[in-house]
Structure 1
Amino acid sequence: MSKTEMTSTIPVKNKSLKIKTKKSTVWISVTSVILFLISWELISYYKLINPLFISSPIKIVEAATTLFADPRYWQHLGVSAYEFSLGFILAMAIGIPIGIFAGWNRIFNSIISPFVSALYVTPKVALLPIIIIAFGIGVASKIVVVFLMAFFPIVMSAQKAMSTLDQNLIKAARSFTASEFQIFKTIALPSTVPFLLNGIRLGLGQGLIAIVVGEMYASTAGIGYHLTHAGQNLKTAEMFVGVVVIAVSGVILTGIIGLIEKRFSSWKPE
């Protein structure tokens, strides 16, 4: 076999090995989930733990079938989706420019850094009473909570991205008389994309937490409100339906971000 043929066969073997490894990990994940559900069903069936506390997968599926046939449940989901979407879009629209500019401009970073650091570590739940007083128990307060929870991971990821820029590359660009705007557009922005996507993924998780907590604290509609109502009436299966809906939504959204992040992973500086 010639040297050229050998080098061409190696990538093919590596690719097939990666595909096999990926398939095996998928099967392991699927098997673990199935075993978990079977164990859960058996624990509930034999009442090793009070079924009132954990329900069972079969009863949760039955409750989900009933709930999804009820238009009122879809209204709750629609309210939560609207609050989450608007709050998260605002967090990205405001957080990304602020984070990038803070990482690019030292003076601006020095101005906002104390406030960002302080508010980032402050539990947003502690601010809920103030937010409810200011914006009421309607949609607006939940949008504000989602915004606050998602805003800071996005800002700090953008700041982190700007701090990882290759200074030698910037110096080289300046030596070729590139303007600050050209450096920002061609070097800084592409380098921030992978970090921004990571911040957005973290913000998604925080935003989902915010929407549930906000609606459970004070609301008249939404998935969090329905969870509270089901818990107060000891409808454990309906509670778990809400938990599953939130979990599946989070997995789907983070999966989409993960695919986009993988597409731009080659842009991340070493």
Structure 2
Amino acid sequence: MTDTVERGAPVIESRPLTELDRRPTFFARHKSLLLGLIGGLIVLSSWQTLVWVGVVDDKFASSPLGAIEGIGYLAESGMLWEPTFSTLTSVGLGILISIVIGVPLGLVIGRSSVLHGLAEPLISIMYSVPFVVFLPIIIFWFGIDDTARLVIVVWAAVFPLLINVVAGARNLDANYLQVSRVFCSSRLKTLWSVSLPGTMPYILAGFRQAVARSLVGAIVAELFMGTEGLGYVVQAETSNFQMDHAMAAIGVIAVIAVLLTRGVAWLESRLTFWSGSVD
């Protein structure tokens, strides 16, 4: 049987799809980011509208436009850059110490059934109990200087990282370990060459949580016992009833949190693309 083509009808020749045809659109590539921006704009515009119609009193709750003016004031008065740098320094040092402690310790605990049995209840308790309740003890031990604030940041960040690393080490593919045993690798070599790369998706997932919690720890420490940092700015400006300035500092904290978490998510997608996980 042969196909007939109506006389005068145009004939459209099909061609195979190229890589350019399969390339996702800009919206598809940045869908999560764009939807987040749209959601944020909806919330901010609704908030500003409630202020304009008088439902929300901006003297006590501030407003988006007032917060923008507050950012300008903080930047001009020098109350923005140094506190931001102080907070980021605490977060950076806390994360670095947490990585140095959490990753090796998690790998060792995860690969040892005895150590896991001994440490797992304590780790779960320390992670579940809010670190804020330990503030009086930390102040009693370390005072209220930078050391105490750094201890709080590390306390907040190290346990989610440790839990994820332990889980990754315990769920390591048995084939990887079998190959290591075939080549008679030492335990240290196995941890470095097999366990560490194999648990990288878990490590980066824990790192993302640790980054967020470290920022929370830094702000809490600055609120309660700081003389610098964005948390201290929020506390001081709120005490002076400068709600626009306080909300501006909170907005800067929110932007830092988003940038840190998105940056870690980007790093996670680049380093663990082979694992098949999708952000």
Residue 170 of structure 1 and its aligned partner are, at CA, apart by 2.3
For 2:260 and 2:33, locate their aligned partners in 1 and report how far apart those are by CA, in whole Å: 19
Report 1:1-270 matches (<5 A).
6=16, 9=17, 12-16=20-24, 19-23=26-30, 26-175=33-182, 177-268=184-275
Aligned residue for 2:248, secondary structure, equals helix
Give the structure with the higher percent helix.
1
The 1:25/1:146 distance shift into structure 2, 3 A limit, reads: closer
SS at match of 2:55: coil
| Secondary structure at the counterpart of residue 228 of structure 2 | coil
Deviates more, 1:186-195 or 1:137-146: 186-195
Q: Say if 1:84 and 1:207, in contact at 8 Å, map to a contact too.
A: yes
What TM-score, normalized by structure 1, do the two folds share?
0.88
Task: Name the stretch that deviates more: 64-73 or 205-214.
Answer: 64-73
Which amino acid is the alignment partner of residue 275 of structure 2? K
Q: Secondary structure at the match of 2:23?
A: helix
Q: Indicate the structure (1 or 2) with the bigger Cα radius of gyration.
A: 2
The alignment's TM-score, normalised by the length of structure 2, stands at 0.85
Q: Bigger shift: 46-55 or 131-140?
A: 46-55
- Asked if 1 retains the 8 angstrom alpha-carbon contact of 2:83 and 2:229, the reply is yes
Deviation at 1:44, TM superposition (A): 1.0
In structure 2, the CA distance between the partners of 1:225 and 1:26, relative to structure 1 (3 Å rule), is closer
Cα 1:266/1:83, change in 2 over 3 Å:
closer
1-structure distance, mates of 2:271, 2:49: 44
Question: Whole-Å Cα distance in 2 between the matches of residues 21 and 114 of structure 1?
Answer: 43
C-alpha distance after superposition, 1:118-149 (max 9, x if no partner): 21111100100110111111111110000000
Deviations 1:220-244 (A, max 9, x none): 2221111111111111111111111
How far has the Cα of 1:257 moved from its partner? 0.9
After TM superposition, the structure 1 stretch with the greater mean CA deviation from structure 2, 188-197 or 140-149, is 188-197
Distance (whole Å) between structure 2 residues aligned to residue 192 and residue 23 of structure 1: 28
* Alpha-carbon distance between aligned partners in 2 of 1:23 and 1:110, rounded to the nearest angstrom: 43
Look up the equivalent residue of 1:15 and give its one-letter code: R
Question: What secondary structure, in the 3-state scheme, does the structure 1 residue paired with 2:199 have?
Answer: helix
SS at match of 1:208: helix
* AA aligned opposite 1:87: G
Check the 8 A contact 1:191/1:269 in 2, yes or no.
no
TM-aligned CA distance change 1:210 to 1:29, over 3 Å: closer
Aligned length: 263
8 Å contact kept, 2:103–2:162:
yes
Contact 1:191–1:268 under 8 Å retained in 2: no
